[in-house]
Structures are given as C-alpha cells and as structure tokens.
Structure 1
C-alpha cells in the first residue's frame, strides 16, 4: 500500500502553508507583546498603586460648590 508515494497532495500543501503562517503570526505576536511589556514607561509599578492621579470630577464639583464658586444650578 502506498509505499512508493512520497508526495503530499494539494490539501497537504495548503495545511503546511497555513501552519507556517500561523506559526510565524504567533511568534511575531509574542514578540510584540514582550516588547510592549518591556518598553512601557514606568514599568509595572504604575499599576501597583491603583491610585488615581486626579480626584474624580464629582469631588472637584463638590469642592467648588463648598467654596461657593458655583451654585446648585450650575
């Protein structure tokens, strides 16, 4: 049975081409993700805080209302 047939059919070539494209897409995606993780300014210490840099807008409005800069209508 098929001892002398060493050729890959049309679907075999398609599967090999699709597999090669998928392989290189995964390698490139991993490279991009690693580069973005390492090139992030400030590293991962920015996410460890989880502290907002600015107060929320509601707090700013409450402070301005308390100081009398704005009234209830504004």
Structure 2
C-alpha cells in the first residue's frame, strides 16, 4: 500500500503543527527569560525584596566636594577651581586678579 498523502496530514495539519511548535518554543523561551529576570531581582536572604541599586549609606556630595574631585582628576586647573569655588561660595569671580 502506498502512502501518498503522508498518513492523512494535509497542508492545514502541517501548518498547525508548525504554528504550535513555534508557540511552544516561544513560551519556553519567555518562561526562561522571566525566571532569569525574577532571580536577578531578588536577594538570597529575602526572596521578595528587590536588590537596591545604590547603597543607602552613600551621601550626596556637596558641590565643593565635586569641584575638588574634578581638580584631583585633572579636569580643571587650579585657577579655574578657585574661580568656581568663589562663585559657589557667593563671591565675585571678576574681583580675582
């Protein structure tokens, strides 16, 4: 006996099988991605709380501290540092000579 029609599966059957397999693998991939994202947001001690992005003990730096850091990194020269520091402290930068 010859099986000319692949065991009774026509074009619709092949199409539905293809779509079903694509949906299955899409769900598997989305499930793995969701699991990885969920595990990445939790800490071992507290599985519900998200991990903080920054340490709470860090305090904001003052503008003078930021300016001093820029001088230390070499982004500005000492004259520019003094001028900007005078402006920050409310002085007149044009009075420097």
Normalized against structure 2, the TM-score is what?
A: 0.41
1:46 match: 52
- After superposition, the Cα gap between the structure-2 partners of 1:60 and 1:31, relative to the gap in structure 1 and judged at 3 Å, is same
| Structure 2, unpaired ranges of 5+ | 1-8, 72-76, 82-97
Cα offset, 1:61, TM superposition = 1.5
Aligned-residue CA RMSD (Å):
4.4
- After superposition, the Cα gap between the structure-2 partners of 1:10 and 1:45, relative to the gap in structure 1 and judged at 3 Å, is closer
Q: Which has the higher contact order (CA 8 A, sep 6+)?
A: 2
Q: How many residues align?
A: 63
1:18 match: 22
Cα offset, 1:30, TM superposition = 1.0
Q: How does 1:18-37 map to 2 (within 5 A)?
A: 18-37=22-41
| Structure 1, unpaired ranges of 5+ | none
